Every structure is written in structure tokens, then in C-alpha cells.
Structure 1
Amino acid sequence: MARTMSAEEYQALGKRYYKHKEYEKAVTAFTDGIECTLSPSVNLFDNRAATYEKIGDLKSAVRDGRDMIRIDKKDIRGYLRTGNVLQKMNKPDAAIGIYKYGIKNVPVDNKHFKLLQGMLDKLTRQLAPPKAVDPFTVLPVELIEMVISYLSFKNMVNCTRVSKAWKKYLINRPNLWTDLDLSHATKPVGNKFVQYAIRRSQYMMTRATIHRFSNTDVLRNLATSCKGLSDLEFLSGMLMSDSICEITMCAVNLKKLVYNIDVSLDTVTQILRYRPTLAHVEFTSINSANLQAQWKVPMPNLQTLYLKATIKPTLCAINLNPRALLSQTPDLKSLNLTNWAGGHNHADLDFASLPLTHLTLQNSEVSAFPLLPETLTHLSLHPWIQLPLPTTAVQNLNALSDVSWQNALKSHLPNLTHLTLSHFSDLTPEFLSTLLEKCENEAGTVTHIETLDSTPVSNLSHFSLAHSLPHIETSPAAFLSSSTSRILTRHLRSLDLSTMPVTDEGIDLITTHLPSLQTINLTSSRITGAGVKTLVDKMPHLSSLAVDFCRHITSPDAINYAKRQGVSVSWKLAEQMGGRRVRYG
């Protein structure tokens, strides 16, 4: 039968039938309206679904509800209609799925969004076990505090929003508020929130991580009122130098300070001068130029120090004054100096009198190899100007070379396990052997370290020669094969020879002498795909391999082979001028 009316007219007709409770005729009218147009509206399906409900055809009603969702996922009516009918069909789990899908797709600013959320919450509560109880009401206080302590500060704050009972319980537990951690903040933190957190701890906060918060008055109050504050870390913020100093001075028991925001060299020296309780200090963005650090007072408690200038020594004349610094820190155990100049006394850096276990000099001014303490376990040296090392023990061949050789000979390093030498030239096995195996005593006698007082010697577990140049007559592989026994050991787990001309012949030597390696970095080397397969086949413990920018690896076959064997491989090809960057694997 030909349809002579429009969809709107059929819809109006169906509504009249519905109003007079002629549901069968209403269904027919709505169906004619849907079938007479290529793009039926959500309203038509909604009207027909409501009519199907009246005549008890719930399956057809659900089908129309799903069609409503298919036509417009942002229209809330399809979810409400479908969920309601599914509840009538005693399918609450399916209804919950529809409501959740709606919350995912319907804009939050929809005026009926709260209705959808309410339907979901109501049905969820109905499906909850009848004997469900609030764990906070039955578990011991000690157990609850232990469970909450495993949550991040952000998640604990979220728990206060679960219910009024939870909020009341949590805000009255001072032990849970002793660590103020704002590191997960995604927007500026309000002043009142921090003030409330301080009061909830009953002024017993011991740690604070500041991020997206810069109110000086509140931070001063934190440092002043919380007498037990020992750890303070700034991840971001806009604080003046005077404010930084004042906040730090107010924290009378502060032991750890980490500052990742721009700060002046003068502020750094003032803080270290007037806060003698500090044991761990990190300043990662010191921006002063054309200054010399003044270390005027002893820092007897300082054990860890990390100072990083924002620009390298080539661009400014920032003088760290290392001699004065080392003389004022007698108990220093970890030192990291990045992008610093050393003034006129940098040629003979002497760390031997300090109990250092970790020493890192990164892009800093080093004109001769330093004198090192026997307590060292981790050593990383990267001069900002490539440093030539002596190839032999010939005296007075060059003043700085002589200093380097003597310092290497006098450095007693039986505990060293991690060694990184980067940006050195003319490095020879003889120099490395002198550094790691030999030692000169007070009488000037040279002997092997293991014979000194029967000292047990640690083998290296990490060794790196990245961005260094072996002596012109020594290939990297030959360098390793003739190197010290403290490197050529089954204890070595990590090897970094990036940017060095390692070839497939060198791979054979690596697999022969270092069979227990787990991590290898051969970035920008001359290794081929065959070398990659050799490493994978002959090194059963290999788990990570970096071969980025190795232009002799011309296909992904070897990379895919390594991945199939369970090795994590990093392989990127350099971007060519005028072409596209191509990556495989």
C-alpha cells in the first residue's frame, strides 16, 4: 500500500492513536513514518519503543532503543529508554552496560546527564550484596591505615570523596597526612587545600612535594609550623630567590631539599650556608652566569649533592670553585656536577679525601684525570672538552698527561662496579689497567690492588666508553680483548660502546670474553645484521640491545629475529637530508 503522508504526519497520527490507547494502530503509524524516510528521527523510534512497552513487546522496544543509540550516540534518550526496558525484562547487568556506555558518550553538560548517572548508581546499589558493609566500620584502625598508606596522596584524597563517613574518618587520621604529595596535580592547587592538609596532619608533616603551587605565605607556614619537616621538593612554581631562602630557613630540621626550578647561584650558596642540617641537596637548574661560587662555611652533614647549571661552560664563565666546595663537605658520599667550570684549579681535582661512593662529572671542566677515593662504587666522567689521556707512563711528556697518569696510579678503586668514561681520547688498555688494577703506595711502590692488605676487589657490572676514542692503533674490540681482568669477567652485565667503530669482528670478541652481558648499546657502530644475530645466538642472557643509527644494518630481518628470541631491540635510522625518515622493526 502506497504511503501518501510524510514522516512527520505519520508521527502525529501515531501520537493521536497512542493518546486514545489504540496502541496497535499507533505502532503501525510509527512504523509507516520510519519506513517512508531514508533517515528516520530518534523521536520516531522513541515513540514506537514507548508503544511497544504498552503492548508488552519488550524485545521490540529494546531493539528500537538500540536503533536510537545507533542514530545518535550523544542523545541521552536512547540509553534511558533501552536501560529502562532491560530492567523490566529483568536484565540489570545489560542495563548497567547501557548506562555506562551512555556516560561514556553523552556530553557532561547535557541537562539530563545527572539523571543517567543516577540511574546507574541506583541500579548498582540494588545489585550490591545485601550483606555488604563499609570496610571502615569493621576493620581495625591499624589495618585501615596500613592499606591507605599504600595509596598515592592523590588516591587518598579521592577516597575522601567516596562518602561523608569516609571523609570524616580519613581527615581525622593525622598519620595519613604527613606526606603532602602534589606531584600528580594537573591544574593549580588551591591555597585552602594545602592549608587543610597541614591542619589534618596536626602539623606533623615530614615530607612535601610542591607542584603547581606558589603561595609563599602558605609554604612559609608549612615550613614554620611543621617542625618535623625533613624532605622538601619543588617540581614547579614561581618563587623569588628571597622566598626560597626564607622557606628553607624556616624548616629547622630539613634534611633533603630538591629544587627543579630556575634558581640563582647565590641562592644555592646561601641555602647551603644557613641550613647546616641538609644531608641531601639537588639543584637541577642553576641559571647564574659570570659568577664564582662562595663556599664560606663547613657543611658537615651534607652527603648527597647534585648541582646542574642551565648552560654549558662554553657559553658562560660559571666557576663552581670545586676546591673550596670539597674542603667544606668532609662527609660527602654522592656528588654530581653538570655543566660547571672549575676556574684555574681544575687541572688536579682531588677527591681522595672524601668518602665518595658515587661521582659524576657531566659536561664539566676537567683538564686532567682526577684523583679518586677508594670508596667509589660508581664513577661517570664526561668532560665538556674532549680530554686526551696518556698512552704510556712516560714522565713529563705533557704536564697534564703526567697528572692524569699519576692520579690514575694513585687512585685505589677496589670497590668500583660502575664505570663510564665518555668524551676521552687516546684511551688505552694500559691506562685502564693502571686505573683499575694498580696502585702506588706512600713509598712510591707500584703494586696490584688485590695484593694490598688482601683487599677484596669488586668486578665491574657496568662499563661504558660512549663517545670516546681509543688510541689510534687500538680498535674497540681489541681494546676490550686486552683490557683489565676486572672488565673481562662474567660479572659484567651492561656494556655501552655507542658511537665507537665496533664491527662484526668485534662482536665475536664480545661474545667470547663477555658471555653474561644482559644489556648492550652499540648505537652508531658498524655492526651489521649478521652481528646482531651473532649476539642473540651466542649470548643467552641478552635482554636489551640498542643499535640505533647503525647504517650497515640494511633490513629488519635481524631485528625481527632478535625480537622473536625475546630480546628488546631499539633500532632507528638517521634522517637523511631531503628525504624521509624510515624506521623498521
Structure 2
Amino acid sequence: MSTAQENQRQGRKAYADGQYSIAHEYFTRALKAATSPDDQCSILDNRAATLEKLGDEHYLSALKDARRMMRVSRTSVRGYLRAGKILQLMENFHVAAATYEYGLGLIADEDVEGRRLLEGMYEKVQARAKAFREKEKARDPLSVLPVEIVDMVFRGLPFRTLMLLQCVSRGWRRFLSEYHRSYATLDFTGVKKPVPKVTVMAYLQRARGRTTKVMLEKFHPSMLAMIVTKSKKLSELSVMSTDFLPDGYIRLLQRDNLAVLNLHCQMSSESALDLIATAKNLEVLKCHRLGRLSAADLEIGGGLKLKKLVLTWDQPKMSGGRIVIKDFPELRELNLCCRRIDSGHEPADFRELRRLEKLVLRDLTVHWFPKVPDSLLHLDIRVETLNMDHPDVKALPSLESLGLPESSKINNAMLLMLLSATTSLRSLDLSMCPRINADSMDWLLDAGHGDSLEYLSLAGNPSFRDEVTRELGRLKKLKRLDIAHTMITGIGVANLVYREGSQLEWLGLDYCINVGRDAIEAANAVGVRVSHRMDHYFGARMRYSVVVG
């Protein structure tokens, strides 16, 4: 017996005993000693089978041996069968089928058995390739998509959806449990029952200190202490509960890491003032249900980094002292509701807020138009009484948006005085102002805003008629017009949407009972979006529709 045959015999014996590494060594020695093509082909077949057993990391080496068999004996079926088998193990069914087809063109016609084997394998692989393609279509996206794409998909999903997606499969649960955005926001709003403390604790443990935003609605106050203590990176907290929150728990919110606080809970005014004065890094504070204060004037200040402040007292038009806002060097937006801000003899003075860009005053006792800084861009005043006839009403050079909705005492003369103080107004809201005479737009055009105004609301104005719509054509940049609750008809709508050079994009016609569907469809046809709602009007049941072009 030759050396090659002896080594091959020893290799087959080791293969049968499951000693594949030893078998591979014997087959390698035998291949070096083999001289005839038949012996080489047989030994290569044995070594390729051994490499298959050694694991998928050896499949490429096994495939090289199979292809060497195909070169050594082109008409032998063994090389094509071995190569096809390895390619199937590698799930490369398309190439495996091509290998069988290639072999059918080369083996001799006399090899009936070999041809039958190749044809059978070719048909099986074709069927497996088809099934594999169907499986590929339904493959788990987490296993094929790049991490960046998966992050783009999941980053916009709310907390509740991310938790539900963990029920898809074990793989999804494992991924989402480790996904850094899963527990960055804990949203417990919209629940029917109070969230158990043990549930919140479990989520905080999974977050491992990565939570930056928490939203609570129904909860025990002690849970707030646990969240603030455990979440070292917490920067935003929203408490949507309307229950009273004791002062002791409010003090827990005086932490350096908190930047945004949105509190809908009942709380004392003293607690809010304490938060403003002591929270070092607080940038946004919204307190929506503050309790009554004493009759003395209230000075609010000390928020060095505060950029947005919303204070709403729980009792509308309450009596008591006035509010004085001071010492907010970074404040950009101020929203006050249900409190007195002037003395009755002098207007409120906000000029110390040199960076103030937006001022909203709602349901306040305001006798005089307030003194505002030159930096102001947006002003919204919703009060019943407002005296515009004060000598300190001066130029507002930066004002872009003015809102005076539901101001029952504002008339054209007062409004013209205010409009004359502005130079580049882009938005004007005069909805539900019954004393504004809208028979003509001269009061608006005389103030010099015909070339800058982009939004105008005259909703609920009893004097607005179709005749005025022609004058609105002089507002060259008007894009949005709200004339809901007016007596406009389809003729007026046509005047607005068909005027030459019109830039109108949106038209508010809610509860305009004289406007038919044909006028709305005509507006949609020229690219104007229309809001037209009809519900119950003066006790009569009407149609309800919203048409958006």
C-alpha cells in the first residue's frame, strides 16, 4: 500500500471516530503523496468533507478543495456534488444551482447515475432558492438594517410604542432593552389608573441613569422624590396631575440638572417664587395652577438663566396686589394669566427685560398698555379693558406679531395708534373684537402695513362683508386669512382667491353659513387650503366638514 493510500485510510478512520482535526492532517499528507488524478480527487473529497465538519469558518477552504476536484477531473460528478453541497451550507443557493447546471454540461452521457444525481440536486436547490428568497423578504429588519437606519426609525417613536414593540420577539426585546433611547423619556400620561411605584422603579433600573425626561399624571407624591433622586441626568419634568403638590416635594425640584419644568399641579405661589429664585440652571418654568397670594404687590425675579416663564393663577381675575417682573437677564418669553399687572394709575413696565421677545397677557386686570422693550417681537394681549390713550405708548420697532383677540373695548382709533407705532408687522389677530369697524381696510393700510402683513384674523367681526374682500387685495403679501363667524358669501371668497397676484395659501371660513361647497372647491382648485366647519349653529343642526386642499 502506498503512502498516500495509508494516510487516506488513517484519515478516514479518524473521521469515523469524530477526530476531524487529526483526519484533516492525514488527508493533507495523503494529498502531498498522491500522484494519480483519481487518488487526488478522492483525497480532496475526503478533506473537503472533513472541513465541513470543522465548522462554518472552514467552508471557504472546503469550497476550494471542491473546485480543485472540478479542475482535476472535469468529467467526474464528485467535484460538482461536493461544491454544490458546500454552497448550500453557505446559503448561496443560486451559485449552487449554477454549479450543478455547469456540471450537467460536462459529465459524460454514459454516466447515467451521475447525471441523475446532478439533475435531482439541481431541482432541489432551485426549490430551496425560491423558498429562501421568500424568507429573505420577511427577514427581521433589525438583523439586516444598519444601526444608523434603525436609530432613525426608532428615535421618533413615543415611549409607549417602544415598550409595546418589545413584545414583537425576543430579539426586539433584547435590542430595545439596550437601546439608549428606549428609556430616555418615561411618559406615564394618559393612564387610567395610578402607575405603581414598583413599575416606575423597574423602568428606572432598566434606564441605568440615562433618563432625561419624565412625564407624570396619576402618581403618589413620593414617586416624584424617587424619580428625581434616581435620575441623575434628568433635565425635563412634566407633572400633568391637577392634585395639590405639597411644598416639601416642590423643594425636591430645586436641582442643578433640571432645565425644564412643566407643572399643571396645584401649588402655592410661594413655592413657585422659591423655584425661580433657587433653581440655578432652570431655563423653562410653567406653573399653571398657582394659589392665591396676599394683597401686597408681588415682585418676581432671580431666574438668572430662565428663558421662558409661564405663570397662571387658579382663580380668574382675582383681586390682590400687582405683579412686578424684574431681574431676568435671559428671559425671552413671558406668559401671565389671571393677575393684575398695573396699579391702575401707571402701566406695567417690562422694559428691564431687555431680551424679551414674546409677551402674552391673558385674563388680566390691565388698565394701560404696558411699557415693553424694543426687543419685543410677539405681543398677545387678551383683556376686556385696555386704555391705549397713555403718553408712554411709543414706537415698537421690532414687533412682528400683534394679537388682541377678545378685546371688547378696542376700537379703530386705539388700534390705529398702536399700529402706527410698528413698522414691519407680519401677523395681526383681531378675532372677536366687536368694536373694530371692518367696513373698510383704510385703518390698516394707512398704518403702512400693506406690504408686510402675512396673517390677518377678523374672525367674528360683525361688520365684515363681501365688499371688503376687494380691499384686501391691497395686502400684497397676505398668505393666511381667518374670517370665521362672518357674513361672507361665495362671491367674497371668489374675490379673495381669484385676485391678480394673490399669495393666499390658507383661508379660515369656519361657521360661515353663507359659503357653499362650490366656493370651497373653487378655492381648492387654485391651491388655497380652506377650513370650513359647520356644527350646531344657533341651535340648528348644520353640516360638519373640513376641506383641506
TM-score clears 0.5: yes
Equivalent positions of 1:46-195 (< 5 A) are 129=135, 133-137=139-143, 144-183=150-189, 185=191, 187-195=193-201
Whether the 8 Å CA contact 2:245–2:265 is kept in 1: the answer is no
Indicate how the Cα distance of structure 1 residues 271 and 292 shifts in structure 2: closer, same or farther if over 3 A, else same: farther
Which amino acid in structure 1 is aligned with residue 468 of structure 2? G
Match for residue 205 of structure 2 among 183, 195, 199: 199
SS at match of 2:363: strand
Counterpart Cα distance in 2 of 1:269 and 1:488: 44
- The superposition leaves residues 12-59 of structure 1 with CA deviations (integer Å, 9 ceiling, x where unpaired) of xxxxxxxxxxxxxxxxxxxxxxxxxxxxxxxxxxxxxxxxxxxxxxxx
- The superposition leaves residues 156-182 of structure 1 with CA deviations (integer Å, 9 ceiling, x where unpaired) of 111222223332333234454222223
TM-superposed CA distance for 1:312, in Å, is: 2.1
Q: Residue in 2 aligned with 1:219?
A: 224
Q: Residue in 2 aligned with 1:544?
A: 506
Segment drifting more, 271-280 vs 297-306: 271-280
TM-superposed CA distance for 1:257, in Å, is: 0.3
Equivalent positions of 1:102-501 (< 5 A) are 129=135, 133-137=139-143, 144-183=150-189, 185=191, 187-212=193-218, 214-236=219-241, 238=243, 240-242=245-247, 244-249=249-254, 251-288=255-292, 294-295=298-299, 298-313=302-317, 316-319=318-321, 321-323=322-324, 326-342=325-341, 344=343, 347-354=346-353, 355-383=355-383, 385-389=384-388, 401=389, 403=390, 406-409=391-394, 411=395, 413-422=396-405, 423=407, 424-428=409-413, 430-437=416-423, 459-468=424-433, 475-482=439-446, 484-485=447-448, 487-489=449-451, 491-500=452-461, 501=463
Which amino acid in structure 2 is aligned with residue 198 of structure 1? L
Whether the 8 Å CA contact 1:233–1:257 is kept in 2: the answer is yes
Counterpart Cα distance in 1 of 2:280 and 2:536: 50
Whether the 8 Å CA contact 2:180–2:210 is kept in 1: the answer is yes
TM-score if structure 1 supplies the norm length? 0.62
Counterpart Cα distance in 2 of 1:469 and 1:245: 43
Which amino acid in structure 1 is aligned with residue 425 of structure 2? L
Counterpart Cα distance in 2 of 1:289 and 1:190: 35
TM-superposed CA distance for 1:368, in Å, is: 0.9
- 2:514 equivalent to 1:514: no
Whether the 8 Å CA contact 1:550–1:573 is kept in 2: the answer is no
Indicate how the Cα distance of structure 1 residues 146 and 186 shifts in structure 2: closer, same or farther if over 3 A, else same: farther
Q: Which ranges of structure 1 fall in alignment gaps of 5 or more residues?
A: 1-124, 390-400, 438-458
SS at match of 2:210: coil
SS at match of 1:538: coil
SS at match of 1:129: helix
TM-superposed CA distance for 1:361, in Å, is: 0.9
Counterpart Cα distance in 2 of 1:129 and 1:264: 62
SS at match of 2:397: coil
Whether the 8 Å CA contact 2:509–2:533 is kept in 1: the answer is yes
TM-superposed CA distance for 1:477, in Å, is: 2.1
Among all aligned residue pairs of Structure 1 and Structure 2, give the percentage whose two residues are the same amino acid: 24
Indicate how the Cα distance of structure 1 residues 584 and 162 shifts in structure 2: closer, same or farther if over 3 A, else same: closer
Aligned length: 408
TM-superposed CA distance for 1:430, in Å, is: 4.6
Whether the 8 Å CA contact 1:216–1:239 is kept in 2: the answer is no
Counterpart Cα distance in 2 of 1:163 and 1:278: 41
Indicate how the Cα distance of structure 1 residues 126 and 263 shifts in structure 2: closer, same or farther if over 3 A, else same: farther
Whether the 8 Å CA contact 1:261–1:285 is kept in 2: the answer is yes
TM-score if structure 2 supplies the norm length? 0.66
TM-superposed CA distance for 1:537, in Å, is: 1.6
- 2:541 equivalent to 1:581: yes
State the Cα RMSD in Å.
Answer: 3.2
Give the structure with higher Rg (CA): 2
Indicate how the Cα distance of structure 1 residues 335 and 242 shifts in structure 2: closer, same or farther if over 3 A, else same: same
SS at match of 1:245: helix
TM-superposed CA distance for 1:496, in Å, is: 0.6
Indicate how the Cα distance of structure 1 residues 570 and 340 shifts in structure 2: closer, same or farther if over 3 A, else same: farther
Counterpart Cα distance in 2 of 1:388 and 1:528: 35
Equivalent positions of 1:515-534 (< 5 A) are 515-534=476-495
Segment drifting more, 144-153 vs 301-310: 144-153
Indicate how the Cα distance of structure 1 residues 432 and 226 shifts in structure 2: closer, same or farther if over 3 A, else same: same
- 2:532 equivalent to 1:567: no
- The superposition leaves residues 332-386 of structure 1 with CA deviations (integer Å, 9 ceiling, x where unpaired) of 1101112222363673111222111111111212111111211111111122x33
TM-superposed CA distance for 1:563, in Å, is: 4.7
- The superposition leaves residues 236-279 of structure 1 with CA deviations (integer Å, 9 ceiling, x where unpaired) of 36453235414313x33111101123333233223223323211
Whether the 8 Å CA contact 1:295–1:328 is kept in 2: the answer is no
Counterpart Cα distance in 2 of 1:217 and 1:126: 55
Counterpart Cα distance in 1 of 2:179 and 2:345: 54
Which amino acid in structure 1 is aligned with residue 166 of structure 2? T
